[in-house]
Amino acid sequence: KALFLSTGLHAAFTVSVGNPSVKVKENEGVDLKCSYTADFGSSPRVEWKFKDLKGSQTLVYFDNQPTGKYAGRITVYDGGLRFNKVTRADTGDYDCEVSGNGGYDEKTIKLTVLVPPSKPVSRIPSSVTTGSNARLTCFDTDGSPPSTYRWYKDNTPLPEDPTKFPNFKNLTYKMNIFSGNLEFASVSKLDTGSYFCEASNGEGTPQRGDAARMEVHDLNVGGIVAGVIVALLAVGLLLFGLWFASKKGYLPKKAESKPKQAVYTQPRTDDMDDEDGEFRQKSSFVV
């Protein structure tokens, strides 16, 4: 009897879904099952909300009708919501919210629209210096669910953890199969080779990116020193040439400026004012 009462209390104002995680191929139809107990009354308020992979939320079904872009694409019936045809943009979480008679409950269905990976875009440096760090990147823009990645060197797959394999224990890279990054903290001559990445998500055929060769070179210390010496010699020759030209008088001299002279001018008659019984003389100097 106690078990019956506990179950009955749990069932009051309860929303339930047929499958909390639904997967469907792109361009196919799909049903998102959502039912509720009779406690909500004969005409409960049912709403559907969608949250995409970036966290942006949108109303799908509100005030007994589809909203905006969902008009003509969905049908809401007693027991769920049906998409006529899904696209990859429909991947995300769908909240089924029911309220009525003072009760409220909601449940979430995760919808994944299955899309095979596309050819990944990779970035591989062509030349790096021994001892420096290097990062190779790989990314597939279309795969749903998101792709995982693996790297190949000279057509040989690289293990995710090279320390566990004798043939790769001398390599010091770190591979992230989820981000697609292959990172070398300190590259060596052993890391020279041709690299490409592969993206896969369990849908369709795995896709490979273009191969590119990465060369690892030793730092040319002698060349750097020689370059510095040549640059210093060039600067020295330039300074000597300027000094020699100045000494011989080949360089133009700056024009000497003449001192300014003050010129006194006699005041004109009309510049003599008689005001309040006093005479004021106006004189001017022209410089």
Best-predicted range by mean pLDDT (67-81, 164-178, 228-242): 67-81
pLDDT of residue 220: 57
Task: Inform me whether the pLDDT recorded for 106 exceeds 70.
Answer: yes
Q: Taking a C-beta distance cutoff of 8 angstroms, is the pair 29, 83 a contact?
A: yes
Q: Is residue 38 part of a domain?
A: yes
pLDDT of residue 42: 87
Where among 114, 140, 172 does a domain terminate?
114
**Which pair of tokens denotes residue 115?**
């899309």
Q: SS3 for 127?
A: strand
Please compute the mean of the pLDDT values over residues 116-135 and round it to a whole number: 96
Task: Inform me whether the pLDDT recorded for 71 exceeds 80.
Answer: yes
Taking the mean position of all CA atoms in its chain, how far away is CA 246? 58
**Which pair of tokens denotes residue 164?**
């566990």
Task: Inform me whether the pLDDT recorded for 38 exceeds 50.
Answer: yes
The domain of 104 spans: 14-114
Best-predicted range by mean pLDDT (59-68, 168-177, 278-287): 59-68
**Which pair of tokens denotes residue 37?**
């107990």
End-to-end CA distance of the chain: 119
pLDDT of residue 261: 57
d(CA 177, CA 139): 11
**Which position has the token pair 């990172």?**
183
Please compute the mean of the pLDDT values over residues 168-184 and round it to a whole number: 92
Task: Inform me whether the pLDDT recorded for 13 exceeds 60.
Answer: yes
Nearest to 208 by CA among 135, 134, 155: 155
Of the pLDDT bands very low, low, confident and very high (cuts 50, 70, 90), residue 139 is: very high
Structural domain count of the chain: 2
Where among 114, 143, 176 does a domain terminate?
114
Q: Is the pTM of this model over 0.85?
A: no
**Which pair of tokens denotes residue 190?**
């052993």
Task: Inform me whether the pLDDT recorded for 283 exceeds 80.
Answer: no
- Domain harbouring 97, CATH code: 2.60.40.10
pLDDT of residue 260: 57
Q: Which residues of 57-68 are buried (b: 16+ CB within 10 A; e: fewer)?
A: eeebbeeeebbe
d(CA 175, CA 183): 7
Of the pLDDT bands very low, low, confident and very high (cuts 50, 70, 90), residue 228 is: low
Of the pLDDT bands very low, low, confident and very high (cuts 50, 70, 90), residue 147 is: very high
Task: Inform me whether the pLDDT recorded for 74 exceeds 90.
Answer: yes
Where among 217, 239, 260 does a domain terminate?
217
Give the strand pairing for 57-62 and 65-66. antiparallel
164, 207: one domain: yes
Task: Inform me whether the pLDDT recorded for 70 exceeds 60.
Answer: yes
d(CA 212, CA 15): 54
27, 105: one domain: yes
Please compute the mean of the pLDDT values over residues 18-24 and round it to a whole number: 95
125, 206: one domain: yes
The answer to which of 41-55, 73-87, 264-278 has the lowest mean pLDDT is 264-278
Of the pLDDT bands very low, low, confident and very high (cuts 50, 70, 90), residue 116 is: very high
Q: Which residue has the higher pLDDT, 87 or 261?
A: 87
Q: Is residue 258 part of a domain?
A: no
Q: Which residue has the higher pLDDT, 90 or 281?
A: 90
Of the pLDDT bands very low, low, confident and very high (cuts 50, 70, 90), residue 172 is: confident
Q: SS3 for 122?
A: strand
Average pLDDT, the chain: 84
Best-predicted range by mean pLDDT (8-22, 62-76, 258-272): 62-76
43, 79: one domain: yes
SS3 sequence of 28-80: CCEEEEEEECHHHCCCCEEEEEEECCCCCEEEEEECCEECHHHCCCEEEECCE
Residues, the chain: 287
Q: Taking a C-beta distance cutoff of 8 angstroms, is the pair 151, 181 a contact?
A: no
Alpha carbon separation from 49 to 36, 107, 255 (Å, rounded): 17, 11, 83
Nearest to 144 by CA among 66, 86, 188: 86
